[in-house]
Structure 1
Amino acid sequence: MQHEVFISYHRNSSAELVEHIVAALESHGIKCWYAPRDVDSSYAGDIVKAINTCKVFLLVMNEQSSHSAHVLNEIDCAFNRFHQHESIRLLPFRTDNREISDDVRYYLGRIHFLDGTEPPEEDRINALVSRISYWIQSSEWNNNAQPVVQVQSIHSTTLVHNTNFVGRASELNEIYRLLHSDNNKLFLCGTGGIGKSELARQYGLKFQNEYRTILWFTYNSTLEDMIITDQFLLIHGLENEKQDLTTPQARETYYYKKLNYLKEHCDKHTLLIIDNFDAEDERTQELLEGAYSVIFTTRISREKDGYQELSIHPMDNPEDLIALFQKFYKRPLQSGDDMILLQIFDKIAHHTYGIELLARQMQASRMSPASMLDFFNGKETPASRRSHIVMEHILNVMTDLFHLGSLTEEKLSILKNMALLPVEGIETETFFDLTELDDFMLIDELIDSSFIQYNYITDVISLHPLIVNTIQKNDPDFVDDCQIYIQNLTRQLSSFTHLKSTEKRTLLSLAEAYYLKWCSPSRSFDIPFMEHLAEAYAEYFIRDKSIAIMKRLLTLNPEPLKASWYHYYISNQLRCLEQYDGLSSEAALSLSLLKDLPDSLEKKQQLSRSYSMVGWAKYHTDDFEQAFSYFEHSLQLRKETLSDDNVLIAWAYFNSASVLTKMKETEKAIQYYEEAIRRFLRINEIGICVPAYICIAEAYLDLNDCTKATNALEQAFTYEYEYYGEENCRKYWLYDIKSKILEKQGKNDEAAEYRRWSEEEYKKYIQSRET
């Protein structure tokens, strides 16, 4: 079996540990490569080859490996692959707390380490195996090109083992009983932080052998959005990038495709866990109609609506409460401390998450149970000055669980930025880059103190909603302190077209979470964010949301030049949606706003855009002479105001050529198409060249020049294959033009064959969009 993990380590200090790691990984079917075991001939050559073919580069890092020249060479080799965006994951597994060398920090300073320092060793190795298994399973799923029609084509969620879970045996058994009754749909209802999510996760882990597939969803906006996203429901053959998601109607159609797939292929042995379902949603009933089992976690009781519900109350078993506390408070308890702790727990209403936070803060500040009870009772103690923990109204309102005043400004800043994230969180390294942190130490400390929730398998960090609520209550204007995160989010949105598909989905998830809950046009830095989000939505074919944002921006009464651009952008999206009446009115508004403005470079550039949209409005009413006049005005302004390599000039030539073709000025249209192609090629926009070559081929056919039409079609074939690949290229329209050429040449039998192929390929194309 080809190895998947390369292990880099310092042999003298880590050989025994590496053997344990290898044994654990290979017992899970994950083949490892490490020296000297796997060296065949040339030591250096075999190492380089192994690094170049691995999926995961695992660095067992301690003080000795940090200063090893051999290890550094291996890191350099792996980092080069990482830097070139090849399919490799870097995973530093830190086994001591010594300072790492500057050389290692240079390569791995922006990679989040997996902590291997805390005993027992077995737990740390299990965490390591879980992380690598998750990566490899995700990679194999994404690279699998063969569609499967069984339930196994749904990507099952990997649930995280929580070694800190205690108690709740009766609740787990009751969940099992209810889900195995006549109604296998269940709502777990309780206050925030009481432990509903963890209880659902533990049920999935305890009874996972009862289910073929377990899917974990985090509810953010709507059930429709939740089902549509591949982040939660990834069905092979129904991936987002293969779908038409350009309109609300198209997204609704896709939603039903995925929902119906669940209903058709899943029975009671598939479990859906929908976390954080704290809203009324019109799709609830139709989701519940499937045969699959469902657990919702929610703060809102649904019992009055006739749904099966289990209320989750605070734990009341003293032994379980003490055991939970001791999972996070490692100092030895003295005689009588148990009774003192129970008095403290009474004061926070036995709140599960509250006990965890309390224990972690007492551990960090070295407070004894007696000192904490004095603090609760209002007595002054030295410790209370260092550990302002519980808010004044904790007894009544559990959303204000923690006093954040004990945190440093740097740590508080991290939490404020994290409050802007989706509920399901974000990969640690992505957050690190967006916030421009110096290192991961502060994040790790916040994880250790339980302010940040951490999934060690996926390396995802998130905030508990209680912490978010507390941040917002303490500082309603906290978003003002998060400008770096928002500006970096905006910058990435501005480069949206150049991102990979998975990067686009992640970025849209982050941007949408901020936009829906926190974005306010009253903040100056939110205006460019909204503009670039609208552009990203359009790039991702979510045109209705793009239009909605632009219309919201128009309500702010922007200055005329900006308002003109917003109307232009709306008109362009309406054109793509084939809503030509709206296109015409928006284009006219865009142009009218510029009429009384003084001349300037910015006005001319916006005029070029507005003219192009008015031109398209005329084009779609068959007023071709007017359309050409507007397109030519646009072209001249773009040539006058833009650099010669700007893609908008190339598009202006293409627009004019399109209307010249309709006007039967074929030879002139060909000249314009050729100029557009020349410019597209110069800036490496080869995907756009395909329709231009197709149009030229048809123009040559109008002139009865089959040779030039064939040459143009061959260029279209070449660029279509190069840009989209053989599997994704649109052969149907290429075959259609070929059939027309053959027919013009009198080769009717061959023409009929290509027409048949074109029809078959078009059917395949439509089926791929539907399935």
Structure 2
Amino acid sequence: MSQPEFLYEVFEDFMNSPENKDFSFDNGLVCRWMTGQAKISPKISTYYAKPSKQEKLAETIHQNLLPLMTDCNKALQDVYTLFMQDTTVSEAKKNKLALLYKPADSRLLFLAKLIAFGMERQFVKRDTKNQKLIAGGALSPVVLDYIMDSEVPRPCRHFVGRKEELGKLHTMLEENSKVFLYGIAGIGKSELAKAYAKQYKKYYTNILYVEYSGDLHQSVTDMDFTDDLPEDSEEERFRKHNRFLRSLKDDTLLIIDNFNVTVTQDSFLSVVLKYRCRILFTTRSKFDGHCILQLKEIWEPSCLFQLTSAFYSEAEEHRTLVEEIIETVHRHTFAVELAAKLLENGILPPEQLLEKLREEKASLENEDKISAIKDGQNNKATYYNHIHTLFSLYSISQEQQDIMRDLCFLPPAGISARIFADWLGLTTLNDINDLIETGFVQANTRHTISLHPMIQEIALSETRPSITSCHTLLDSLQKICLMHGMEVSYYKKLFQTVENVIHLIEKDDISKYLLFLEDVFPYMEKYLYQKGMKEIIRELKQLLKGNNHGTSSDRALLLDYQATVETKPEKAIKLEKEALAQIKEITETNAHLVSNLHANLGGLYRMNGQTELAKEHMEKGILLLEQNNLLYTNDSIPQINNYAALLTEMQESERAMSALQKLAQIIKHYNSDHCLDYAQVQESMGNICLITANISQAKSHFKKAMKIYENVWADEPELIEEKYQEIQELYPQIGIALAKGILASINKQE
């Protein structure tokens, strides 16, 4: 099983608790935990700190893991040996836990308590040097510890046949390096690629997997490398990733799944084809002039009957009818699977299903269209009709139809079933599980769901998703995006879902849709998700063309968002000024927006060295917040912080301190003096005091800030260490003293 699935099994009790319903094991983050690049989530370690939860963990291990192990006693013995030989663990701790290991019946409790102890210990990041292995040599470095979330998914456990195709694919990759695995939807291209990776993994140093997101350049940018920094721009991330991928040699295989575009639709293909590694594309598009392996129907009747038997328990009893059904759907792999699941659910007996499929065949105007011809379009139309018929034979409930409608927007890689259920306000996963059993919904792993591309096409035409009919989903996504202080591990999938909404939804309520896009944009900006930001700007431009839709505030926001992505300061300033010009009269309704526009314009002037203009607009922004009782909002914090920084640069440090003291009081009143916002203001005041040589006062502010950082980041010592380093680099005398003091207090707690 994959690493996230493994953790789902281990921490099942944690995942099933109501307070963790929105928690998800992000593949990249899990990989960091496993390789020692990041500390495991404090939510998990805190949950299992209680002895009662440790006992539950022991039960879960017994139930979920022991049946999967060939020699659990040997594994426990190895863990015990590692623990006893660890010189960093005190003898008292060793003796206490060793008492549990000795009796055979408490060894799983020993393991559970050891896991809990390991999660609570001070985290020390493992130093990985993989990226430095590139230089020289004939082989690529082993990169799975360096490139996260790149592991190839396992093939379907019912994968059958294709022995000849697997061998042919291997030969073609060895001879041509770049191969396009081509075929119609639902014929099994992705499964063949996954099966190839599994069967031939010993031939490669690395096999990397990328789910195509509609833009190869973006797919390379979105890869998750251990040395990516939160502040890296998309251009910087792409530059690093592209340079690394170019360095990989032909002992590395890169699989790009679902590359369903043409050469002209993705201009970056020509660059990727120059990589030295081997590349396997799965695609529904025919790339003439390149090395192509066309995947056709499985012709061995025994293989498809075996596939049917995997889903339909009475297949052998109705063998003749089943074989006729397989022929009627033209041996199309996905159609065979759907038919088998329909039979297993008892909706129709085999003879009636066969009759329905034959009726559909006869109803088509052109008999030649049904024959197994080679033309891709006709073939696709034929199979589409088979799938559509099977889809229509199910009498799915209204609730399940609503779920199918919203599922149309999920990214190809899918998302956690629990998170999706939470977006829709579902109290159970029953309806989703029923749809998985029908075959309409794919369970990519045991916890991640998506729609098959052919089912997505049919669901779109049948359910016609619109702003009105999908309001629950859109409201949930909008609510997450409005919680700017909240971090979500699945933000890329969230944004990909939003992009699919933009492309696929029927816009029957433009006002609601505009507000949705306007609220999502700042959350994308927080994560520097430029592809989505540009997508929203394009959509807003289209919607606000002419005067049929939107208000002056909507047009001002569009210009403000355009300024956000603009790289030239002068052009960005012009856009912000145009945004302000859209608002002819300031009212209670638009005061907050106008305040932000002034603050943003002030920030741009500051970057451009025009300090007086910067000061003028920042003051206008803060004054509007005061006049409209909006100082309690989150926007006041960056506004006043930036204003104080500007005043300090202009040698007006007393006014800067006064502004920050006022902000500190606001945060304390509306939130608390133990939050990160308060710490950041204390740190800003400490900086000003140092600049004005008020060392003792600076030290006082820094101590207050550090105490908050220590409490808030108690389970993330690497963040505390980064903050120490930041202060040490800027202010050595103060920083070192503080760092030593805080470190000493942490060591006492250990």
Q: Structure 1 length normalisation: TM-score?
A: 0.69
The 3 A distance-change label for structure 1 pair 727 and 363 is closer
Which residue of structure 2 aligns with residue 362 of structure 1?
343
Q: In the alignment, residue 277 of structure 2 is paired with which amino acid?
A: Y
Q: In the alignment, residue 435 of structure 1 is paired with which amino acid?
A: L
**Structure 1 residue corresponding to 2:401, chosen from 412, 432, 435:** 412
**Structure 1 residue corresponding to 2:581, chosen from 579, 584, 592:** 592
* Kept in 2: contact 1:650–1:675 (CA 8 A): no
The 3 A distance-change label for structure 1 pair 581 and 174 is same
Which residue of structure 2 aligns with residue 193 of structure 1?
186
Q: Return the offset for 1:27.
A: 4.0
- Aligned pairs for 1:55-454 within 5 A: 145-149=126-130, 150-151=141-142, 152-153=144-145, 154-155=147-148, 157=151, 159-179=153-173, 181-230=174-223, 234-235=224-225, 237-239=226-228, 242-245=229-232, 250-264=233-247, 266-280=248-262, 281-302=266-287, 304-305=288-289, 307-333=290-316, 337-338=319-320, 340-365=321-346, 367-378=348-359, 396-400=381-385, 401-403=387-389, 404-405=391-392, 406=394, 407-454=396-443
Q: Return the offset for 1:731.
A: 5.9
Q: Is the counterpart of residue 529 in structure 1 residue 521 in structure 2?
A: no
Alignment partners' CA distance in 1, 2:63 and 2:590: 69
Match of 1:497, SS state, is: coil
Q: In the alignment, residue 576 of structure 2 is paired with which amino acid?
A: A
Q: Return the offset for 1:354.
A: 0.9
- Aligned pairs for 1:505-524 within 5 A: 505-518=492-505, 520=507, 522-524=509-511
Q: Return the offset for 1:300.
A: 0.8
Structure 2 residues without counterparts, runs of 5 or longer = 1-6, 14-52, 80-97, 131-140, 362-377, 738-750
Q: Return the offset for 1:534.
A: 0.5
Q: In the alignment, residue 470 of structure 1 is paired with which amino acid?
A: I
Q: Structure 2 length normalisation: TM-score?
A: 0.71
Match of 1:361, SS state, is: helix
* Kept in 2: contact 1:647–1:679 (CA 8 A): no
Q: Is the counterpart of residue 497 in structure 1 residue 479 in structure 2?
A: no
The 3 A distance-change label for structure 1 pair 379 and 548 is closer
Q: In the alignment, residue 272 of structure 1 is paired with which amino acid?
A: L
Judge which range, 461-470 or 711-720, deviates more.
Answer: 711-720
Match of 2:255, SS state, is: strand
* Kept in 2: contact 1:348–1:394 (CA 8 A): no
Alignment partners' CA distance in 1, 2:311 and 2:571: 61
Give per-residue Cα distances to partners, 1:612-658, cap 9 Å, x unaligned: 34444554565545544443333232123225533444444434434
Alignment partners' CA distance in 1, 2:442 and 2:430: 15
Structure scoring higher RCO (CA < 8 A, sep ≥ 6) equals 2
Give per-residue Cα distances to partners, 1:699-737, cap 9 Å, x unaligned: 546655454455556666666777776645266763465
Which residue of structure 1 aligns with residue 68 of structure 2?
24
- Paired residues in the alignment total 619
Q: Return the offset for 1:353.
A: 0.8
Match of 1:182, SS state, is: helix
Alignment partners' CA distance in 2, 1:687 and 1:282: 44
- Aligned pairs for 1:669-688 within 5 A: 669-680=656-667, 683=671, 687=676
Q: Return the offset for 1:566.
A: 4.1
Alignment partners' CA distance in 2, 1:702 and 1:693: 14
Structure 1 residues without counterparts, runs of 5 or longer = 57-85, 89-141, 381-392, 743-750, 755-771
The 3 A distance-change label for structure 1 pair 342 and 540 is same
* Kept in 2: contact 1:694–1:737 (CA 8 A): no
Alignment partners' CA distance in 1, 2:440 and 2:170: 31
Match of 1:498, SS state, is: coil
* Kept in 1: contact 2:599–2:621 (CA 8 A): yes
Alignment partners' CA distance in 1, 2:126 and 2:649: 42
The 3 A distance-change label for structure 1 pair 244 and 630 is closer
Which residue of structure 1 aligns with residue 551 of structure 2?
559
Give per-residue Cα distances to partners, 1:27-73, cap 9 Å, x unaligned: 4887599xxx99569999999887666579xxxxxxxxxxxxxxxxx
* Kept in 2: contact 1:347–1:395 (CA 8 A): no
Judge which range, 405-414 or 369-378, deviates more.
Answer: 369-378
Alignment partners' CA distance in 1, 2:285 and 2:170: 21
The 3 A distance-change label for structure 1 pair 343 and 26 is closer
Instruction: Give the aligned CA root-mean-square deviation in angstroms.
Output: 4.4
- Aligned pairs for 1:366-765 within 5 A: 367-378=348-359, 396-400=381-385, 401-403=387-389, 404-405=391-392, 406=394, 407-457=396-446, 459-477=447-465, 480-500=468-488, 502-518=489-505, 520=507, 522-542=509-529, 545-546=532-533, 549-550=536-537, 552-553=539-540, 555-556=543-544, 557=547, 558-571=550-563, 573=564, 579-595=568-584, 597=585, 600-616=587-603, 619=606, 624-642=611-629, 645-680=632-667, 683=671, 687=676, 696=685, 699-700=688-689, 703=692, 705-709=694-698, 711-712=700-701, 727-728=718-719, 729=722, 734-735=727-728, 737-738=730-731
Alignment partners' CA distance in 2, 1:693 and 1:50: 43
The 3 A distance-change label for structure 1 pair 6 and 47 is farther
Q: In the alignment, residue 370 of structure 1 is paired with which amino acid?
A: E
Q: Return the offset for 1:219.
A: 1.0
Which residue of structure 2 aligns with residue 75 of structure 1?
none
Judge which range, 695-704 or 638-647, deviates more.
Answer: 695-704
Judge which range, 251-260 or 356-365, deviates more.
Answer: 251-260
Q: In the alignment, residue 66 of structure 2 is paired with which amino acid?
A: V
Q: Return the offset for 1:296.
A: 1.2
Alignment partners' CA distance in 1, 2:71 and 2:207: 23
Alignment partners' CA distance in 2, 1:204 and 1:603: 56
